[in-house]
């Protein structure tokens, strides 16, 4: 009797546990760095273009491989403000 009951509800239990576990992926509070926590992201060392020589080299490779240039500008600062 007990085994039958467990078998009956096992798939449902697995679905519930699965949704519970995946809810962590959908919650913005758990996976997002909050706007007020972005001091480190705004630091100069986090800028991808902080080294002009490395930027020029990357641009050169990009141009020669992709036959394209530009389109690398991003508005705002590293903190994603505004």
Partner 1 sequence: MSLPTRGLLLLALALPAGAARAALRPGDAFPALAGADLAAGRLPATRGRVVLVDFWASWCAPCRDSFPAYARLQTAYAARGLVIVAVSVDRDAAAFAAFVDHFHPPFAAVDDRTQRLVRAVSVPAMPTCYLLDRGGRVRFVHEGFHGEGTEQELRHEIDALLTEPFRSP
- Contact set with partner 1 (CB under 8 A): 9, 12-13, 15-16, 19-20, 23, 26-30, 34-39, 42-43, 76-77, 79, 81-82
Q: What is the spatial distance between Cα 41 and Cα 53, in angstroms, rounded to a whole number?
A: 22
SS3 for 33-80 is CCHHHCCCCCCHHHCCCCCHHHHHHHHHHHHHHHCCCCCCCCCCCCCC
Nearer to partner 1, 19 or 57 (CB): 19
- Least Å distance, CB 34 to partner 1, is 8
Give the nearer residue to partner 1 in terms of CB position, either 62 or 78.
Answer: 78
The nearest distance, CB 31 to partner 1, in angstroms, is 10
Q: How far is the CB of 32 from partner 1 (least distance, A)?
A: 10
């Amino acid at each position: 009797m007990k085994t039958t009951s467990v078998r009956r509800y096992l798939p449902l239990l697995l679905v519930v546990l699965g949704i519970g576990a995946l809810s962590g992926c959908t919650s913005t509070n758990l996976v997002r760095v909050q706007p007020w926590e972005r001091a480190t992201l705004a630091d100069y060392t986090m800028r991808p273009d902080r080294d002009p020589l490395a930027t020029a080299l990357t641009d050169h490779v990009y141009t020669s491989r992709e036959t394209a240039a530009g389109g690398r500008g991003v508005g705002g600062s590293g903190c994603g403000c505004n």
